[in-house]
Amino acid sequence: MSMADPKRVALVTGANRGLGKAIATELAERGLHVIIAAREAQAAGAVSQELNEKGLLTSGYQLDVTDPGSVARCFADVGLQHGRLDVLVNNAAIAIDRRQFAVSPDFERVHATLETNLTGAWRCAAAAIVEMRANDYGRIVNITSHLGSISTMADTNIAYRVSKAGLNALTRILATELQGTNILVNAASPGRISTRMAGNQTDRTPEQATDTPVWLATLPDNGPTGSLFHDRKPLPW
């Protein structure tokens, strides 16, 4: 089955705007049925309707990655309704601790950030793998950040940095555990793009940053796993 086969099903978290919406759009343009997942059902449905009106195949689904029940329901429903899940893009994330320092942390912000960016992605990956194992096929793409690189780790944005460093570690661990299967797990750093989360501080649009995540989401069976990429080029962790 080719990646252009509409029977392939992808789920993108945080797909109601920004990079998530751009990735979801390109995957749908490639012929996949894309589940537009967002915390608010109305937002997910609005994007799905917008893309469907363009002739693309999508569905909207309410998903709160911080809620174990919401994650379990979403992935079980996808498996029931579509009979498969082939691609998961863990895009949902928050950045709420700018100008925060590790020596004087706001632990409420730390907890909220880790729960969304790391534990939430972990929950989704674990639930997706259950569905992917049924067909021995899967592509998991974790959207990370250069701020999570241990080799260039610095101060400020501490919870966000730690959450992305943890996501990088999770990527390597899952890839190792899934060796011998056709479920490939990789991470993609889109670089600085103009989104609400980034404060719209650059001229690079989300649509200009989809190449690597979409490439990883549609890898051939002998594609890389357990790696970190930016613009399709491998990066140090």
- pLDDT at position 3 is 46
Q: How confident is the model at residue 2 (pLDDT cuts 50, 70, 90)?
A: very low
Residues 129-169 pLDDT 10s: 999 999 999 999 999 998 878 878 788 889 999 999 999 99
pLDDT-based confidence at 83, cuts 50/70/90? Answer: very high
> What CATH number corresponds to the domain at position 167?
3.40.50.720
Report pLDDT for 230: 95
pLDDT class of 216 with cuts at 50, 70, 90: very high
Q: Is residue 33 part of a domain?
A: yes
Q: What is the total count of domains within the chain?
A: 1
To 10 degrees, the CA torsion angle through 105, 173, 210, 130? -110
Q: Could you tell me what percent of the chain has a pLDDT over 70?
A: 93
Whether 137 is catalytic: no
Structure confidence at residue 70 (pLDDT): 98
Neighbours of 205 (CB within 10 A): 14
The whole-model pTM stands at 0.94
Whether 1 is covered by a domain: the verdict is no
Question: Phi/psi at 206 (nearest 5 deg)?
Answer: -55, -35
Q: Looking at the domain assignment, is residue 77 inside a domain?
A: yes
Whether 4 maps to a domain, the answer reads no
pLDDT on residue 98 = 85
Q: Residue 90 pLDDT more than 70?
A: yes
Q: How confident is the model at residue 128 (pLDDT cuts 50, 70, 90)?
A: very high
Least Cα distance to 91 among 133, 145, 40, 127 occurs for 145
* 51-71 pLDDT, tens digit each: 999 999 999 999 999 999 999
Distance, in Å, from the CA atom of 93 to the CA atom of 145, rounded to the nearest integer, reads 11
Considering the domain boundaries, does residue 2 fall inside one? Answer: no
pLDDT band at 6 (very low <50, low <70, confident <90, very high): very low
pLDDT of residue 72: 98
pLDDT at 114 over 60: yes
pLDDT in tens, 162-205: 999 999 999 999 999 999 999 999 999 999 886 555 555 666 89
pLDDT of the residue at 68: 98
Average pLDDT, the chain: 93
Q: What is the pLDDT of residue 203?
A: 66
Catalytic one among 75, 137, 160, 229? 160
CA–CA gap between residue 26 and residue 34 (Å, rounded): 10
Q: Is residue 51 part of a domain?
A: yes
Note down the domain range covering 93: 9-234
The helix-helix angle for 121-133 and 158-177 (nearest 10°) equals 20
